[in-house]
Amino acid sequence: MTSSGNDFPVAPRPSGRLIDARLHLLDRQLFDADDAPVGIVDDLDIDIPMDVDIAGSVPAPLVTGILTGQVLATRIFGGRPPRAKLQAVPWRLITKIGTVVQLSAHAQDFDSLWLEHWLRDHIIRRIPGGRRAAQ
């Protein structure tokens, strides 16, 4: 199928919602199913297909998940965090993308909060008044 007046084929329309990863995903806060913050989107997990279909075209890359973790040091000093420090959140757990990224899982399902829990249990609780919830 060609467009009117030229010999270029009409580009196929993608199905679903088209989002800009830099604008709609990266650095967005992640909230769990209970609306508790669990981290921020630090990077994307992308699957790049290497097979060629019958028509000779390569399928588009597919976002399979988002990566979150403790990357404050690399944000301040530069560089990239080691992949081992990032936790992959499968794309199927994302329920809504807006001003925040909403997940269907609960906070306790994520290992990315271990540092926050360790600080709470070993440091904050030792501070006078640290055992009470903020009013």
Give the pLDDT of residue 2. 47
CATH homologous superfamily of 21-126 equals PRC-barrel domain (2.30.30.240)
Separation between Cα atoms, residue 88 and residue 85, nearest integer Å:
10
Residue 121 vs residue 134, higher pLDDT: 121
pTM of the model: 0.64
Query: According to the model, what pLDDT value does residue 130 have?
Result: 61
In this prediction, residue 96 has a pLDDT band, given cuts at 50, 70 and 90, of: very high
- Helical ranges in 12-127 per DSSP H: 21-24, 72-77, 114-122
Q: What is the pLDDT of residues 49-93, one digit of tens each?
A: 887 767 777 777 888 999 887 776 676 777 777 777 788 899 999
* Cα dist from 68 to 15, 40, 45, 120, whole Å: 27, 6, 10, 20
102, pLDDT greater than 90: yes
List the chain domain ranges.
Answer: 21-126
Listed range (27-36, 38-47, 77-86) with the worst mean pLDDT: 77-86
